[in-house]
Amino acid sequence: MADEFMSDVAANVEEALTDNAAIPLPLRILLKAGLEPDDIQPQTTFREAMQEVVFRRRLKLAAEVEQLPWPKVKEAVTRDRIPSAIISEALRTYGHDQPERKGSDVNDTSLLCLAPYADKMFVDKRTLESVRRAKQKVPILGELLGDVRKAASYRDITTALTPN
């Protein structure tokens, strides 16, 4: 999947290099990647545009799998309407810098995206700190995440989940 994505990016960049030189190269790359001119505003940063590209690719894949009409899906579904997109973007943007632990942060964020569908969510203390920081910047997270807490051991989780 990663190889296919990188091959796609390389092909888009190569094609953008030979296209209309009147349009700035970064804009040509974004257009080749699937954005439309209306998706890119003067104040849009390259990072924001790339986040939209990634979101659109995932959305398009889901639309294809479900055999839904892409134009209608693209019009109706935006990043601000998908809880997992809001949660993961908020944690990536506002979470504190953490020492890299191969795979752990990806798992924590992926699991945390399930929080809107659970009564309680247990995370490690690093992720809980990221949640705390992100909630200060993105108020909707309070509603989406609900009861997120840390536990020192699995026994503590069992105790917290056992009815009194």
Number of domains in the chain: 1
Question: With b meaning 16 or more CB within 10 Å and e meaning fewer, what string describes 79-110?
Answer: beebbbbbbbbbbeebbeeeeeeeeebeebbe
Any domain includes 62: no
For 108-157, the pLDDT digits (tens) are 788 888 999 998 899 888 889 999 999 999 999 999 998 999 888 888 88
Residue 90 lies in a domain: yes
Residue 161 in any domain: the answer is yes
pTM across the whole model:
0.71
Kindly state whether residue 28 falls inside one of the protein's structural domains. Answer: no
- 144 is in which domain, residue-wise? 83-164
In a domain, 61, yes or no: no
- Per-residue pLDDT of 34-64, as tens digits, reads 788 888 888 888 788 888 888 888 888 899 9
Asked whether residue 104 is domain-assigned, the answer is yes
The one-letter amino acid code at 24 reads P
Is the residue at 137 inside a domain? yes
- The whole-angstrom separation of Cα 127 and Cα 87 is 12
